[in-house]
Amino acid sequence: MKVLELGLPIRAKRYRLQNMDPKQLHVIQALEKAGATEHLTDREKHLIGLAVTITRGCAYCTGGRTEKALASGITQETLNANTDLVAAVNAGVAVRTVLQGLEGLSCDSPECAS
């Protein structure tokens, strides 16, 4: 099995090339370009990336990003504050979603069809 090593900002290290849809390569290239921005510091990229992996619920990625953030000099206190913020925002989204569901708001999105 071929494996391509990429240094992506999302810290994904391996992508299986077997049966890969060519469209996915464009996505990978877009991710590389987004991670190369000079508008965010490495510290900001670490904290945003960690927030995303926590929200997605990937324990493996969260652990890896936490280790890399600590190794880059971000303090445990900052990581704790970041985690608290992510938890609060996600809890707020969950509450709002439930309240909107209870209010019977309409949704035109395909995933709303039941």
Chunked mean pLDDT (size 10), the chain, 114 residues = 38 48 70 77 92 92 94 96 95 90 74 66
Q: Is 97 among the domain residues?
A: no
**CATH code of the domain in which 81 resides:** 1.20.1290.10
Pick the closest to residue 51 from 33, 38, 69, 36 (CA basis): 69
Q: Are residues 12 and 34 in the same domain?
A: yes
Q: Are residues 29 and 64 in the same domain?
A: no
User: Quick one: pLDDT at residue 86?
Assistant: 95
Tally the domains of the chain.
Answer: 2
Q: Are residues 24 and 49 in the same domain?
A: no
Instruction: Tell me which residue range forms the domain holding 51.
Output: 40-90
Q: Is 29 among the domain residues?
A: yes
User: Quick one: pLDDT at residue 88?
Assistant: 94
Place of tokens 């303090």: 75
User: Quick one: pLDDT at residue 36?
Assistant: 77
Count Cβ atoms below 10 Å from residue 54 Cβ, excluding itself.
20
Q: What are the backbone dihedrals phi and psi of residue 16, each rounded to the nearest 5 degrees, phi first?
A: -75, 130
Q: Are residues 32 and 47 in the same domain?
A: no
Q: Is 113 among the domain residues?
A: no
User: Quick one: pLDDT at residue 17?
Assistant: 52
User: Quick one: pLDDT at residue 33?
Assistant: 75
Q: Are residues 35 and 49 in the same domain?
A: no
